[in-house]
Amino acid sequence: MKYFLIAGEASGDLHGAHLVRAIKDMDSEANIQCWGGDKMQEAGAKVCKHIRELAFMGFVEVLLNLPQILKNFKLIKQQILSFEPDMVIFIDYPGFNLRMAEWTHKQGIQNAYYIAPQVWAWKENRVHKMRKYIDQLYVILPFEKEYFESHDIDTRYVGHPLLEGITDKLDGLSKKTNDRKIVALLPGSRKQEIEKMLPVMIKALESFPDTSAIIAGAPNMNRDFYHKWTKTNENISLLENKTYDLLGQADYALVTSGTATLETALFQVPQIVLYKGNWISYQIARRIVNLDYISLVNLIMNREVVKELIQNDFNTKTLKKEFKKILEKEHRNKIFKDYFELEQKLGGKGASEKTAQFIVKSIQKPGGKATRNE
């Protein structure tokens, strides 16, 4: 069978790679092409366009890059028509993928969506498009199944794919040789967000001389990009493409909001969640996003487990104050207890295998729909 996967960001590349391997395990003749990154390529998919050319962040940034985005739509349609896949599998990246799903549906191609758009948070009108154009939906958060089924969308909860990599044995960093605490800095994967987040993180930690900060280098950014922050400070170093190794050794973490917040929690690392975006984009978002929290940790638990510093609250003074709190033993112990409860909510690993099994089986069925009770 032929499969075309579309991911647009680093997290989608990671989860897409696991899914590619799982599909190949279940379909020995699988021919897989994708829009993705290095991980999906290493897993055995042919990358037709790399994610480094796709990640545009925020309302204003999308408008500024609109000509390139339109060229991307034209290119991928040509590639899909040439490849003639049995199924297109969309991985997150909803602004692009939902528009593509409408087009592929009209071409008579089966559509599966893995890692659902967060329409329960904002742009709920998108759920109507999903019901119309998505044949199968595979969700990774516990509360999503009930939500999407209430909108009559064929939905399966497969568990969170992060559990697959995190519960495996990791090599980790070399053992610490002194009492300095390691602080993992996860400033994001896009250039513009890293440039906003990282300087404030580093400045705040100057007040904690007994810490060593290690930046988790994004896979789509090269070493030279981070050099301006590491060259003048011996307490700041860079670890490229080994975020899990870093979290396996970290004592604390400062994390830009996103999938990384959940990864950090599953590694049992006390964290502060941070976010600061373009002012105009943020003003628009706060008026249309229907959420009490921005981190996956707090969203899943439906209460504050980790502190969130958003927009104006994300500054050196406030970050220093909150970091001092997580150094306290009592505060850390409460976080650890909440992290354990979080992991129980997520269930066991195997999201990629479950999703691949449903996908491969559904292609073999007339109409491309697996039964709801499978």
Answer for the pair 80, 101: CB distance below 8 angstroms, yes or no.
Answer: no
Which of 156, 350, 165, 344 has the alpha carbon at shortest distance from 260? 165
Residue 300 lies in a domain: yes
Residue 166 lies in a domain: no
Q: What is residue 335's predicted lDDT score, i.e. its pLDDT?
A: 97
Q: How far apart are CA 157 and CA 159, in angstroms?
A: 6
Say yes or no to pLDDT of 16 above 80: yes
Burial of 38 (0-12, 13-18, 19+ CB in 10 A): middle
Residues 131 and 231 in one domain: no
Which of 201, 181, 354, 338 has the alpha carbon at shortest distance from 266? 338
Lowest mean pLDDT among 2-11, 157-166, 169-178: 169-178
Residues 54 and 95 in one domain: yes
Residue 374 lies in a domain: no
Q: What domain range is 215 assigned to?
A: 181-346
Q: How many residues can be counted in the chain?
A: 374
CATH code of the domain in which 356 resides: 3.40.50.2000
Q: What is residue 285's predicted lDDT score, i.e. its pLDDT?
A: 57
What DSSP letter does each residue of 142-157 carry, written as one string?
TTHHHHHHTTT--EEE
Q: Dig out the tokens for 72 from the structure.
A: 């991307």
pTM of the predicted model, to two decimals? 0.72
Q: What is residue 347's predicted lDDT score, i.e. its pLDDT?
A: 76
Residue 373 lies in a domain: no
| pLDDT tens digit sequence for 135-165 | 999 999 988 999 999 999 999 999 998 887 7
Q: How far apart are CA 96 and CA 253, in angstroms?
A: 31
Which of 234, 249, 253 has the alpha carbon at shortest distance from 173? 249
Residues 118 and 228 in one domain: no
Residues 271 and 356 in one domain: no
Residue 175 lies in a domain: no
Residues 191 and 308 in one domain: yes
Q: What is residue 370's predicted lDDT score, i.e. its pLDDT?
A: 39
Q: Which helix (H) or strand (E) holds 198?
A: helix 191-205
Average pLDDT value for residue range 200-215: 94
The separation between the first and the last C-alpha atoms of the chain, rounded to the nearest angstrom, is 21
Residues 360 and 265 in one domain: no
CB pairs under 8 A, 24+ apart, for 221-227? 221/189, 221/191, 221/194, 225/191, 225/194
Q: How confident is the model at residue 235 (pLDDT cuts 50, 70, 90)?
A: confident
Residue 275 lies in a domain: yes
Average pLDDT value for residue range 273-285: 71
Average pLDDT value for residue range 226-252: 90
Q: What is residue 72's predicted lDDT score, i.e. its pLDDT?
A: 87
E-strand ranges in the chain read 2-6, 31-36, 46-50, 87-91, 110-114, 136-139, 155-157, 181-186, 211-217, 236-240, 252-256, 271-275, 307-310
Residues 7 and 124 in one domain: yes
For residue 180, count other CB atoms closer than 10 A to its CB: 14
Residues 7 and 153 in one domain: yes
Say yes or no to pLDDT of 336 above 90: yes
Q: What is residue 107's predicted lDDT score, i.e. its pLDDT?
A: 96
- C-alpha Rg value of the chain to the nearest Å: 21
Residues 339 and 360 in one domain: no
Residues 151 and 275 in one domain: no
Residue 221 lies in a domain: yes
Q: What is residue 59's predicted lDDT score, i.e. its pLDDT?
A: 52
| pLDDT tens digit sequence for 38-84 | 999 999 999 999 988 775 555 555 566 677 778 889 999 999 999 99
Residues 236 and 149 in one domain: no
Q: How far is CA 204 from CA 134, 146, 275, 315, in A?
A: 45, 41, 15, 8
Domain count for the chain, please give it.
Answer: 2
Residue 263 lies in a domain: yes
Residues 360 and 219 in one domain: no
